């Protein structure tokens, strides 16, 4: 009271803040009056407010001081001032995590929650549940149950919401309150209904049958709360999606009926649910779209926004369905809320006709500077889509994009624009010159290294083939003068490409190269020297090999191999051929073009499977020193899908070893497996060198254990081997709900058997060119529980196979095939081998030409967006190589692999910009590689 009115700044206007210069220590000092008798509620209230305000501002309270203040505060429970008491609850909630011994107030809160004052009861429950942990919860369980079914809505709501918060912490206890929640769900109060429904769903969401029942009940009884309806719609649409129920199901009818609800919130939720359903037909969409159309003319901005955002989504899949709304959308393009206007325009761009494009573009350019980056990206994406639809409009688009490129904006935004321009250039040859000109202008003042190198690479690729290549030289050379190392290096590479393709430019390029050789950065100097020397030879073949084509090996693989090489110094030169080739890179399909959080998630580059395995294996200390990984097989299921433990096997082949990776999944929720190992009994000269157990295998979390097998080197004829596998582990029973394991466990084992549906051809492992003249057949028959071994192969045909393969010379060697055949053998021991060695040989032989196709570079692509572009890319691929994908490409260089020196320069270019230090090593390799070139593949042969 006094504090409040004693302010000196009382009249100094609204500029002052009574809390502005609060000091934590002063406030805590003041908190001592909590101990005074009698309690002065007003002053205490004011101090509590200050404490909460400070906490809210992010002031840090130490544990000791917080605890001290907390304990002083507990005294205030003696006062009966309502607001003060409520503020005490708030303080408890705020301090629950920073103060110690907060449970001291449990009894006071329990008293309040069961007391007569209804005003206290709800907040007391919420505060109590905030400080209660699993062990304490049992003690208040009785009160919670009563509170949930209390007739006072605020009490019931508070109890339900608090229970929901506690589900995460102690599911088991809260689960017992289902009946009470059920009862609360039929309450008259709309919020209680909503909260009860939410809690019930959370408790039952893993039980589809129960959810279905619950839905049926509530959709029939009809709820009053619009919030509860929204919740029901969400549950229903999730269930529809999971069960893949057709659109004739009663759930769909329910959602559709919600379109006629009297609450806008429910109507919108239903419309949005229908729009988001996969494979919805235009007819089913129609009612939802017409509802959204109505919303477009609502006076509420939020409703208009919601409607147009949803329509924008519809337009992506069913542009024709939205055409009916075009008129309403037209009205929105001048909306004062720029988000709405942007969404309306981008929707119209998708649905409208070619004639309206110019007008819309004009409209949007009038306010594009006012909208946030997220929406700018949406606009760019819409334009990109438009360019594919109306190629003739590219000049308008190009102008617009170049204007946008000049505006301020973040990296994501600029990248979207650059991508869009590049795609236009690729699709419309006549737009190439303007596009390149815009990009040249952009790199003159570009702060994003990634974009600059990308554009330089593009210039190097496209520039020399334009009618007047000389005009790009200036832009490129400016980069050499002005930019950072990575950009300079990319610029040198681009320059070299001009020199290589245009004879009249060659002298000038050589002069510029000379200049680049003085650069302060060694990577730039290296590149310049290298290109200079290549260009001076004036040989087309050399140019093609070292300037146009980069490397086709997988970059992570190369990095790994080089690292390995540096770890084990040897006399032998590094062999590029040991590096796995880049496989087609799976980039994540770009998520929908919508103003969702896409801008926050940059497209991730998915490294190839083998790279991932290599990474994983390299992380295991036991497998250090195995050398580079040649090949990993496809996973093979060793168990049927429904068994207790699911095991699949992946074989990793190294030069002298094989690593069997067993991915095990425990599907029993009452068991915790530890020290899981798959024991292998080899039949031949093979020996299991080491087991790496999976330390712990909790329910449904996959874990991997490994077995390292040494390939016998003294007996090269031992090409096949049979292993019988037994999984051994320590079982600890655990509580299925909490996952708490018992203290002691017992050893157990499980015979890994093989799914009888395995087709041997599926388990064939093409090793490609790395492995020569060997076909090795591994069998992993489980045999019965006894684990009996059998040899499926006879020696005769095997020998034949070897000789036939060996006779094929190098070609066959390169196409050789290592296959491990998992003999499908059901536990009964029924002879079920479908493969015969001869058969395998034939297959191996037949496959070999196909395998040779494999290493061929695939056309370079950024993101596989559409079949049309993919086709265009393939057509234009020519001898051009490709890269491990996005990441590598952004570094500014593409390339292919060439026999011989194998693009030793280009990898340096790529790794060099990413990892300083590597490039020097590469240059060193350049000299060594002459010998490498001569070497045959003999060192690669797995001697078996």
Which parts of 419-448 interact with another protein (CB under 8 A)? Answer: none
Spell out, one character per residue from 203 to 222, where the chain touches another protein: x when CB under 8 A holds, - when not.
--x-----------------
Q: Which of residues 512-551 bind another protein (CB under 8 A)?
A: none
Which ranges in 75-189 belong to alpha helices (H)?
82-95, 106-114, 118-131, 134-148, 153-167, 171-175, 178-185
Smallest distance, Å, CB 32 to another protein?
A: 17
Rounded-to-integer distance, Cα 420 and Cα 331, Å: 28
Stretch that binds another protein, among 48-56, 351-359, 384-392, 411-419 (CB under 8 A): 48-56
Stretch that binds another protein, among 35-43, 250-258, 430-438, 818-826 (CB under 8 A): 35-43
Q: Does 306 contact another protein by CB under 8 A? A: yes
Place of tokens 């200050």: 50
Rounded-to-integer distance, Cα 419 and Cα 726, Å: 53
Q: Which residues are 609's β-sheet partners?
A: none
**Nearest residue to 777 via CA among 817, 811, 819:** 819
- Cβ of 539: how many Cβ atoms within 10 Å? 11
- Cβ of 716: how many Cβ atoms within 10 Å? 14
Residue placing its CB nearer to another protein in the complex, 305 or 750: 305
Residue placing its CB nearer to another protein in the complex, 207 or 748: 207
Q: Does 235 contact another protein by CB under 8 A? A: yes
Q: How do 721-733 and 778-779 pair as beta strands?
A: parallel
Residue placing its CB nearer to another protein in the complex, 118 or 788: 118
Q: Using the rule CB under 8 A, which residue among 57, 107, 186, 738 binds another protein?
A: 57
Q: Using the rule CB under 8 A, which residue among 27, 28, 34, 41 binds another protein?
A: 41
Q: Does 238 contact another protein by CB under 8 A? A: yes
CA-CA-CA-CA torsion for 166, 167, 171, 177, nearest 10 degrees? 90
Q: Using the rule CB under 8 A, which residue among 150, 181, 195, 801 binds another protein?
A: 195
**Residue 919 — φ and ψ, nearest 5°?**
-65, -35
Q: Does 708 contact another protein by CB under 8 A? A: no
Smallest distance, Å, CB 325 to another protein?
A: 18
Q: Does 86 contact another protein by CB under 8 A? A: yes
Smallest distance, Å, CB 127 to another protein?
A: 10
Residue placing its CB nearer to another protein in the complex, 73 or 730: 73
Tokens encoding 943: 């001697």
**Nearest residue to 626 via CA among 591, 668, 657, 595:** 657
Smallest distance, Å, CB 301 to another protein?
A: 4
The gap between the terminal CA atoms of the chain, to the nearest Å, is 91
Q: Which residues are 647's β-sheet partners?
A: 664
Stretch that binds another protein, among 50-58, 253-261, 485-493, 841-849 (CB under 8 A): 50-58
Q: Where are the beta strands (DSSP E) in 157-287?
A: none
Q: Which residues are 661's β-sheet partners?
A: 650, 706
CA-CA-CA-CA torsion for 858, 864, 870, 874, nearest 10 degrees? -10
Q: Which of residues 368-387 bind another protein (CB under 8 A)?
A: 372, 374-375
Residue placing its CB nearer to another protein in the complex, 80 or 800: 80
Question: How many Cα atoms are found within 13 Å in the side-chain-facing hemisphere of 45?
Answer: 14
User: Coil, strand or helix: which one is 509?
Assistant: helix
Q: Using the rule CB under 8 A, which residue among 58, 222, 899, 917 binds another protein?
A: 58
**Nearest residue to 77 via CA among 50, 41, 103:** 41
Q: Which of residues 576-635 bind another protein (CB under 8 A)?
A: 591-592, 595-597, 599-600
Q: Which of residues 879-908 bind another protein (CB under 8 A)?
A: none
Q: Does 313 contact another protein by CB under 8 A? A: yes
Rounded-to-integer distance, Cα 38 and Cα 205, Å: 52
Residue placing its CB nearer to another protein in the complex, 308 or 534: 308
Phi-psi region of 784 (alpha: psi -120 to 50; beta: other; left: phi over 0): beta
Q: Does 11 contact another protein by CB under 8 A? A: yes
Q: Does 90 contact another protein by CB under 8 A? A: yes
Rounded-to-integer distance, Cα 657 and Cα 344, Å: 61
Q: Using the rule CB under 8 A, which residue among 27, 28, 31, 48 binds another protein?
A: 48
Place of tokens 């499977």: 609
**Residue 57 — φ and ψ, nearest 5°?**
-80, 0
Smallest distance, Å, CB 38 to another protein?
A: 4
Residues contacting residue 615 through CB under 8 Å, at least 6 positions apart: 556, 560, 607
**Nearest residue to 753 via CA among 826, 820, 814:** 826
Distances (CA, A) of 805 to 767, 798, 819, 844: 14, 11, 14, 9
Q: Which of residues 140-179 bind another protein (CB under 8 A)?
A: 154, 157-158, 161-162, 164-165
Q: Does 237 contact another protein by CB under 8 A? A: yes
**Nearest residue to 443 via CA among 423, 468, 409, 418:** 418
Smallest distance, Å, CB 791 to another protein?
A: 50
Smallest distance, Å, CB 5 to another protein?
A: 5
Q: Using the rule CB under 8 A, which residue among 74, 79, 478, 679 binds another protein?
A: 79
Tokens encoding 105: 């107030």
Spell out, one character per residue from 324 to 363, where the chain touches another protein: x when CB under 8 A holds, - when not.
------------xxxx------------------------
Stretch that binds another protein, among 79-87, 100-108, 280-288, 781-789 (CB under 8 A): 79-87
Q: Using the rule CB under 8 A, which residue among 103, 104, 173, 191 binds another protein?
A: 191
Q: Using the rule CB under 8 A, which residue among 21, 25, 38, 518 binds another protein?
A: 38
Query: In 573-597, which positions are buried (b, 16+ CB within 10 angstroms) versus exposed (e)?
Result: bbbbbbbbbbbebebeeeeebbbee
Q: Does 19 contact another protein by CB under 8 A? A: yes
Smallest distance, Å, CB 608 to another protein?
A: 24
Q: Does 276 contact another protein by CB under 8 A? A: yes
For another protein (CB under 8 A), the number of binding residues is: 93
Q: Which of residues 454-493 bind another protein (CB under 8 A)?
A: none
Smallest distance, Å, CB 886 to another protein?
A: 20
- Cβ of 369: how many Cβ atoms within 10 Å? 13
Smallest distance, Å, CB 14 to another protein?
A: 5
Residue placing its CB nearer to another protein in the complex, 38 or 222: 38
Smallest distance, Å, CB 448 to another protein?
A: 20
User: Coil, strand or helix: which one is 695?
Assistant: strand
Smallest distance, Å, CB 304 to another protein?
A: 9
Q: Using the rule CB under 8 A, which residue among 24, 126, 862, 882 binds another protein?
A: 126
């Amino acid at each position: 009271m006094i504090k409040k009115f004693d302010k000196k700044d009382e009249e100094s206007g609204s500029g002052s803040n009574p809390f502005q210069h609060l000091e934590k220590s002063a406030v805590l000092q003041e908190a001592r009056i909590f101990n005074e008798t009698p309690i002065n509620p007003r002053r205490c209230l004011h101090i509590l407010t200050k404490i909460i305000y400070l906490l809210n501002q992010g002031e840090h309270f130490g544990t000791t001081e917080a605890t001290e203040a907390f304990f002083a505060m507990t005294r205030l429970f003696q006062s009966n001032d309502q607001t003060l008491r409520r503020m005490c609850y708030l303080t408890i909630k705020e301090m629950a995590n920073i103060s110690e011994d907060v449970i001291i107030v449990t009894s006071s809160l329990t008293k309040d929650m069961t007391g007569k004052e209804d005003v206290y009861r709800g907040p007391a429950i919420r505060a109590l549940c905030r400080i209660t942990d699993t062990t304490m919860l049992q003690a208040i369980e009785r009160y919670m149950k009563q509170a949930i079914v209390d007739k006072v809505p605020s009490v019931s709501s508070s109890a339900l919401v608090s229970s929901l918060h506690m589900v995460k912490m102690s599911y088991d206890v809260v689960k017992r309150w289902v009946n009470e929640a059920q009862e609360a769900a039929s309450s008259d109060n709309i919020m209680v209904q909503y909260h009860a429904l939410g809690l019930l769903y959370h408790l039952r969401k893993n039980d589809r049958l129960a959810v279905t029942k619950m839905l049926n009940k509530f959709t029939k009884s009809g709820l009053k709360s619009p919030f509860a309806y929204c919740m029901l719609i969400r549950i229903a649409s999730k269930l529809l999606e999971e069960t893949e129920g057709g659109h004739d199901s009663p759930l769909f009818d329910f959602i559709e009926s919600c379109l006629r609800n009297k609450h806008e919130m429910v109507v919108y939720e239903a419309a949005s649910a229908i729009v988001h359903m996969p494979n919805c037909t235009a007819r089913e969409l129609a009612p939802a779209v017409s509802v959204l159309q109505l919303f477009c003319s609502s006076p509420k901005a939020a409703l208009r926004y919601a409607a147009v955002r949803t329509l924008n989504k519809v337009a992506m899949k069913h542009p024709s369905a939205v055409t009916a709304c075009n008129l309403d959308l037209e009205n929105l393009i001048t909306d004062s809320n720029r988000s709405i206007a942007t969404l309306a325009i981008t929707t119209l761009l998708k649905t409208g006709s070619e004639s309206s494009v110019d007008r819309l573009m004009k409209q949007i350019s009038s306010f594009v500077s006012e909208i946030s980056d997220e929406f700018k990206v949406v606009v760019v994406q819409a334009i990109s889509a438009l360019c594919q639809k109306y190629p003739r409009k590219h000049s308008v688009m190009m102008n617009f994009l170049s204007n946008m490129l000049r505006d301020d904006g973040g990296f994501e935004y600029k990248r979207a624009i650059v991508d869009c321009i590049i795609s236009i250039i690729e699709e419309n040859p006549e737009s190439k010159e303007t596009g390149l000109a815009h990009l040249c202008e952009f790199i003159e003042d570009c702060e994003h290294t990634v974009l600059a190198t990308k554009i330089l690479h593009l210039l190097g690729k496209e520039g020399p083939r334009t009618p007047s290549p000389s005009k790009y030289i200036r832009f490129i050379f400016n980069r050499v003068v002005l930019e950072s190392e990575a950009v300079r290096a990319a610029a040198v590479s681009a320059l070299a490409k001009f020199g290589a393709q245009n004879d009249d430019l060659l002298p000038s390029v050589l002069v510029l190269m000379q200049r680049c050789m003085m650069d302060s950065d060694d990577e730039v100097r290296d590149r310049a020297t290298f290109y200079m020397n290549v260009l001076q030879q004036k040989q087309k073949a050399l140019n093609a090999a070292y300037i146009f084509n980069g490397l086709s090996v997988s970059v992570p693989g190369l990095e790994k191999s080089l690292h390995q090489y540096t770890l084990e110094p040897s006399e032998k030169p590094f062999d590029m051929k040991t590096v796995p080739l880049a496989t087609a890179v799976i980039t994540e399909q770009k998520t929908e073009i919508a103003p969702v959080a896409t801008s926050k998630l940059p497209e991730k580059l998915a490294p190839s499977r083998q790279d991932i395995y290599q990474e994983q294996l390299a992380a295991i200390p036991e497998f250090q020193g195995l050398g580079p990984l040649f090949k990993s097989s496809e996973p093979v299921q060793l168990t049927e899908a429904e068994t207790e433990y699911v095991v699949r096997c992946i074989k990793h082949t190294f030069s002298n070893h094989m690593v069997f990776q067993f991915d095990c999944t425990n599907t029993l929720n009452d068991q915790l497996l530890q020290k899981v190992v798959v024991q292998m009994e080899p039949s031949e000269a093979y020996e299991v060198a080491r087991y790496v157990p999976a330390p712990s295998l909790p329910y449904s979390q996959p874990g991997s254990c490994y077995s390292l097998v040494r390939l016998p080197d003294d007996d090269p004829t031992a090409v096949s081997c049979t292993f019988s596998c037994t999984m051994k582990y320590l079982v600890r029973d655990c509580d299925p709900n909490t996952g708490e394991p018992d203290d002691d466990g017992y050893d157990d084992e499980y015979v890994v058997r093989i799914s009888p549906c395995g087709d041997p051809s599926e388990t064939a492992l093409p090793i490609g060119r790395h492995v020569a003249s060997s076909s090795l057949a591994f069998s992993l028959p489980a045999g019965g529980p006894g684990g009996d071994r059998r040899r499926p192969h006879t020696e005769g045909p095997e020998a034949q196979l070897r000789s036939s393969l060996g006779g094929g010379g190098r070609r066959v060697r390169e196409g050789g095939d290592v296959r491990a055949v998992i003999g499908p053998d059901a536990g009964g021991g029924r002879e079920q081998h479908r493969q015969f060695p001869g058969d395998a040989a034939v297959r191996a032989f037949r496959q070999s030409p196909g395998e040779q196709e494999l290493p061929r570079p695939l056309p370079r692509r950024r993101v596989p967006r559409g079949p049309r572009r993919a086709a265009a890319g393939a057509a234009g691929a020519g001898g051009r190589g490709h890269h491990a994908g996005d990441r590598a490409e952004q570094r500014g260089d593409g390339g292919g692999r060439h026999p011989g020196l194998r693009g030793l320069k280009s990898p340096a270019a790529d790794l060099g910009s990413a990892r300083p230090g590597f490039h020097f090593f590469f240059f060193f390799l350049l000299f060594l590689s002459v010998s490498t070139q001569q070497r045959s593949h003999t060192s690669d042969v797995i001697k078996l």
